[in-house]
């Protein structure tokens, strides 16, 4: 047992018997003090003191226990009847266990030996005092609340997205049992691509680990409802997608696998957005929409939070016959399956490996070097989102930390003004712990008020975010400021209050009683440390914003391969099941009549819009050349009219252009892109080469290459150029929908007569609008542009907050030193020396913060690049530019207080003395 403390067993007995709160602390503190006095008086013989403590512990503890058993609820703390008066000096009111005097303290309540206040009462007093203190500083309160509301509100808004996308379970029944299946090349692990209907059929028949399985494919279609036509993404369901996912309709019902196939009725299920926009949320079950010109009966509407596959606005049943479902040459499906309750992913992978090896042996030309891949759906969906939202969450967290630094500096500055108040309270008996609790109460109350305003700001910021990034927020219909976000906001508010209140609280605990010297020096060091941290975090954010800006600039400057200026596009699709000759005649007449309109230079058709649309691909087979599935070359293909290349400005590099004779009624001929010529034929001359497009020429039969054209970015500006093959409509007659490309005269507007021409040629052609290609390309860049804007905004906010922090600290320091500076100037000091002294005081922490920030970015720069930027590699030039910008703005913030210091009027200062 230690000689310096009371007996542990007796102390524990007292702790159990005494009521909680201030009563327990009062009794334990008095007895401990009496123990130490008796031990000191007996020249270190602690044995008698320990027996004295045990006797009083048993007597006092038993008395309180008896009162509790008898039902007496009023307890009095220990007094002279409980403790030997000889052990407590006259006039000493005693101390609590933590060493704080029990006397008339800072809260004005009775803290004496007969009036100890309970902890909840003291906290309530602290809160009231904090409210009065904040009300006396309206300017400080307004700045603090605005800073905290925006910082915490931004964190809540971004967390709403992060919570929905990454943290919440998928909106399906038992999502942990859902997996995704597909094909991948063995030399490219981790990738997954589309598969054929025959693959899906074989997987469904041969696997035993799945409870159910469904497949789906994307198609862009013209959907007509009433007098309105709209191009939208349509998902084709094979095997009842909704049943596998475990979701039912909000209105009506979904379709089942038995309602698919030839002869079955065409059915459709609407997304919640289409239901609201097209039908006003009214009764829609039983109505008819036309998809690809075919009528489909609407049988249901999905809930708002259902968005699978992403982007789908309409689901239809698959009209595939047995031959289509067995085909192995049309890769367009993706499969999702539900595991049996006892099945595991690893077991399923072993099972499909057996199927994959069997396919490689049976169909080596198709499946050689290709494997079947299975992965949990949650991992795939979240991986498709990327890390941009985590990066944005980190950005707003840095903004909050910078704001906390500014708040800490403000509180430190105000704490310096309260030195006298704190010294008086210490002299009146308030202990260091009491002052710490009061300071933390003030900062936490301030943070909670800012958090409450942040909760009001968060929905507004979230709405702006969702509107600013259309299509860029996965499961956007489910994103909301829900109770989970409110709990997060409360936690962030409390942590922020404790964080920016910790340093001022520590300074309050060390407030001197008799002298105020030393506080300002410690405060200056603390403020400078906060400036270093703020500047370093600002460097990280500004560097991220700079890299994003450079990435976007590089992406926007990418050559799409077509001349977008003065180019317009009109989506066009002939409804109904018409013969090829009739459709060809309609397209030719539209092309001829539009070319004759004033303001139009040329017209051409293309099956898919470059850069923004999904362009299909197919295998390329040269006669006499045998390939395995993994080594077989492929290319994207587009169906075009002969005038397409001149209209969009694609250069002919070799050979000749296409004509209408290059179809089935003449010599089957195609053009290839430069990338296709290099990949398919290497150094050989591609002109005159022949190949099939598709495994058996099912896309296009054996055709001859008649020319080579320039490369076009078919998969998006951020993706590399891919091989492409171009064929006329006569060679691929089954393609029905096209994009009408119109080359306008320089500076000309899109003629309004375009719509009239389409209506006069065929009244059934729906008008889907006309747009300039520059606007369409800009829309393709909208997500990257908006993400860049958000990072830039965060960087500018960080820059402004860091500059305000530097200016605020130096302005306060100069204000406190006004008297000293005035005296120095009065006795002959050079104003320039005063100015340089203040400049040096401000430049040192800023320079150190820049150094720390540069080192930090140096360590994480490559990670930043791999996480979100991708296009623009990490460049030290960006970092140096950020350091120069931040240093320049900080120098300006430093110079203003320095100039003010050198402009102090000595006479005014002396007269004020």
Residue 624: the pLDDT is: 63
Query: Do 484 and 160 meet the contact criterion of CB atoms below 8 Å apart?
Result: no
Q: Which of 166-170, 354-358, 392-396 is predicted least confidently?
A: 166-170
**Looking at 252-256, 637-641, 656-660, 780-784, which range is the least confident one?**
780-784
Pick from 640, 630, 796: nearest CA to 712 = 640
Q: In the structure, what pLDDT confidence band is assigned to residue 904 with cuts at 50, 70 and 90?
A: low
The pLDDT of residue 469: 64
The per-residue pLDDT for 709 is: 94
Which tokens sit at 243? 């049943």
pLDDT tens profile 347-359: 888 888 888 888 8
Rounded to 5 degrees, φ, ψ at 678 are -70, -40
Query: Please, what's the b/e burial string for 156-178 (b: 16 or more CB within 10 A of its CB; e: otherwise)?
Result: bbbbbbbbbbbeeebbbeebebb
> Between these two residues, 147 and 869, which has the higher pLDDT value?
147
User: Mean pLDDT in the chain?
Assistant: 77
Q: How much is the pLDDT for 696?
A: 67
Q: Which residue has the higher pLDDT, 57 or 663?
A: 57
- How does pLDDT run across 60-84, given as a tens digit for each residue? 777 777 666 655 444 444 443 333 4
Mean pLDDT along residues 577-604: 89
Residue 440 CA, distance from chain mean position: 32
- Helix H or strand E segment including 703: strand 700-709
854-867: average pLDDT: 65
- pLDDT for 515: 42
Task: Check whether 742 has a pLDDT greater than 90.
Answer: yes
* pLDDT of 401 strictly over 90: no
Q: What is the pLDDT of residue 680?
A: 87
What pLDDT is recorded for position 147?
82
Predicted pLDDT of residue 789: 77
Taking each helix axis from N to C terminus, what angle separates 197-206 and 345-362, rounded to the nearest 10 degrees? 120
What's the whole-number mean pLDDT along residues 729-735?
83
pLDDT at 2 over 70: no
In this predicted structure, what is the pLDDT of residue 674?
Answer: 93
Cα(695)–Cα(620) distance, integer angstroms: 7
790 burial (CB, 10 Å; 0-12 / 13-18 / 19+) is buried
Per-residue pLDDT for 517 more than 50? no
Query: CA-to-CA distance for 134 and 680, rounded, in angstroms?
Result: 75
Q: What is the pLDDT of residue 301?
A: 93
688 exposure class (CB count in 10 Å sphere: 0-12, 13-18, 19+): exposed
Highest mean pLDDT among 184-198, 363-377, 546-560: 363-377
Q: Does the pLDDT at position 400 exceed 70?
A: yes
Predicted local confidence at residue 836, as pLDDT: 84
Strands 634-640 and 724-728: parallel
- Give the number of other Cβ atoms within 10 Å of residue 852's Cβ: 17
* Number of Cβ within a 10 Å radius of residue 28: 20
């Amino acid at each position: 047992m230690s000689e310096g403390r009371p007996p542990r067993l007796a102390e524990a007995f007292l702790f159990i018997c005494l009521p909680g709160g201030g009563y327990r602390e009062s009794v334990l503190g008095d007895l401990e003090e009496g123990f130490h006095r008796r031990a000191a008086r007996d020249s270190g013989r602690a044995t008698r003191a320990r027996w004295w403590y045990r006797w009083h512990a048993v007597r006092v503890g038993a008395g309180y226990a008896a009162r509790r058993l008898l039902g007496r609820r009023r307890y009095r703390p220990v007094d002279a009847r409980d403790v030997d008066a000889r052990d407590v000096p006259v006039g000493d009111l005693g101390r609590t266990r933590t060493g704080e005097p029990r006397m008339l303290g800072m809260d004005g309540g009775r803290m004496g030996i007969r009036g100890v206040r309970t902890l909840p009462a003291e906290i309530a007093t602290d809160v009231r005092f904090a409210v009065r203190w904040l009300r006396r500083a309206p300017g400080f309160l307004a700045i603090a609340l605005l800073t905290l509301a925006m910082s915490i509100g931004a964190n809540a808004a971004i967390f709403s997205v992060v919570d929905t996308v990454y943290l919440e379970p998928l909106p399906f029944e038992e999502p942990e049992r859902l997996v995704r299946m597909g094909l991948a090349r063995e030399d490219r692990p981790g990738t997954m691509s589309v598969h054929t209907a025959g693959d899906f059929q074989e997987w469904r028949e041969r696997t035993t680990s799945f409870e159910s399985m469904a497949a789906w494919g994307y198609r862009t279609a013209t959907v007509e409802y009433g007098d309105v036509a709209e191009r939208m993404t349509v998902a084709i369901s094979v095997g009842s997608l909704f049943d596998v996912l475990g979701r039912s309709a909000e209105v009506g019902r979904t379709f089942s696998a038995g309602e698919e196939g030839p002869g079955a009725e065409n059915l459709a299920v609407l997304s919640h957005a289409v239901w609201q926009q097209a039908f006003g949320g009214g009764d829609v079950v039983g109505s008819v929409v036309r998809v690809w010109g075919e009528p489909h009966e609407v049988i249901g509407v999905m809930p708002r939070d259902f968005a699978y596959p992403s982007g789908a606005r309409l689901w239809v049943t698959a009209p595939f016959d047995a031959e289509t479902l067995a085909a192995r040459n049309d890769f367009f499906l993706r499969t999702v399956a539900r595991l049996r309750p006892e099945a595991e992913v690893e077991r399923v992978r072993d099972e499909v490996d057996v199927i994959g090896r069997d396919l490689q042996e049976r169909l080596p030309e198709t499946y050689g070097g290709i494997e079947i891949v299975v992965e949990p759906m949650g991992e795939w969906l979240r991986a498709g989102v990327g890390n941009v939202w985590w990066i944005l969450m980190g950005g707003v967290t840095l903004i909050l930390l910078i704001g906390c630094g500014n708040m800490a500096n403000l509180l430190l500055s105000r704490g310096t003004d309260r030195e006298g108040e704190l010294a008086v309270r210490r002299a009146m008996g308030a202990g260091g712990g009491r002052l710490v609790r009061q300071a933390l109460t003030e900062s936490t109350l301030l943070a909670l008020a800012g958090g409450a305003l942040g909760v009001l700001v968060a929905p507004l910021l979230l709405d702006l975010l969702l509107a600013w990034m259309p299509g860029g927020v996965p499961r956007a219909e489910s994103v909301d400021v829900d109770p989970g976000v409110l709990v997060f906001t409360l936690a962030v508010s409390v942590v922020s209050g404790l964080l920016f209140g910790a340093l001022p609280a520590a300074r309050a605990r060390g407030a001197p009683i008799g002298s105020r010297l030393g506080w300002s020096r410690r405060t200056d060091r603390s403020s400078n440390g906060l400036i270093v941290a703020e500047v370093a975090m600002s460097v990280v954010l500004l560097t991220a914003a700079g890299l994003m800006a450079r990435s976007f600039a590089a992406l926007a400057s990418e050559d799409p391969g077509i001349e977008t200026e003065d180019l317009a596009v009109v989506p066009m699709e002939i409804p109904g099941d018409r013969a090829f000759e009739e459709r060809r005649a309609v397209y030719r007449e539209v092309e001829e009549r539009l070319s004759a309109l004033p303001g139009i230079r040329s017209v051409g058709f293309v099956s898919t819009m470059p850069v923004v649309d999904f362009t299909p691909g197919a295998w390329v087979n040269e006669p006499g050349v045998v390939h395995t599935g993994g080594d077989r070359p492929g290319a994207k293909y587009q169906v075009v009219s002969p005038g397409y290349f001149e209209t969009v400005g694609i250069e002919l590099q070799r050979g000749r252009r296409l004509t209408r004779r290059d179809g089935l009624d003449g010599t089957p001929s195609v053009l290839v892109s430069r990338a296709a010529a290099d990949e398919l034929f290497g150094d050989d001359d591609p002109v005159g080469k022949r190949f099939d497009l598709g495994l058996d020429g099912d896309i296009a039969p054996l055709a001859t290459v008649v020319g080579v054209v320039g490369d076009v970015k078919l998969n998006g500006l951020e993706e590399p150029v891919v091989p492409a093959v171009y064929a006329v409509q006569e060679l691929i007659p089954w393609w029905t929908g096209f994009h009408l490309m119109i080359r306008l005269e320089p500076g000309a507007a899109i003629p309004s007569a375009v719509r009239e021409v389409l209506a006069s040629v065929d009244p059934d052609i729906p008008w889907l609008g006309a747009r300039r290609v520059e606007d369409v390309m800009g829309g393709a860049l909208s997500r990257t542009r908006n993400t860049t804007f958000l990072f830039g905004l965060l960087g500018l906010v960080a820059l402004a907050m860091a500059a305000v922090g530097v200016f605020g600290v130096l302005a306060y320091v100069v204000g406190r030193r006004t008297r000293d500076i005035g005296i120095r100037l009065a006795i002959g000091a050079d104003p320039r020396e005063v100015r340089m002294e203040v400049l040096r005081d401000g430049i040192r922490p800023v320079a150190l913060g820049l150094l720390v920030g540069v080192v930090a970015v140096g360590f994480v720069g490559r990670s930043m690049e791999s996480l979100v930027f991708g296009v623009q590699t990490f460049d030290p030039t960006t970092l140096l530019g950020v350091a120069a910008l931040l240093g320049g703005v900080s120098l300006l913030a430093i110079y203003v207080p320095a100039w003010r210091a050198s402009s102090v009027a000595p006479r005014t200062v002396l007269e004020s003395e």
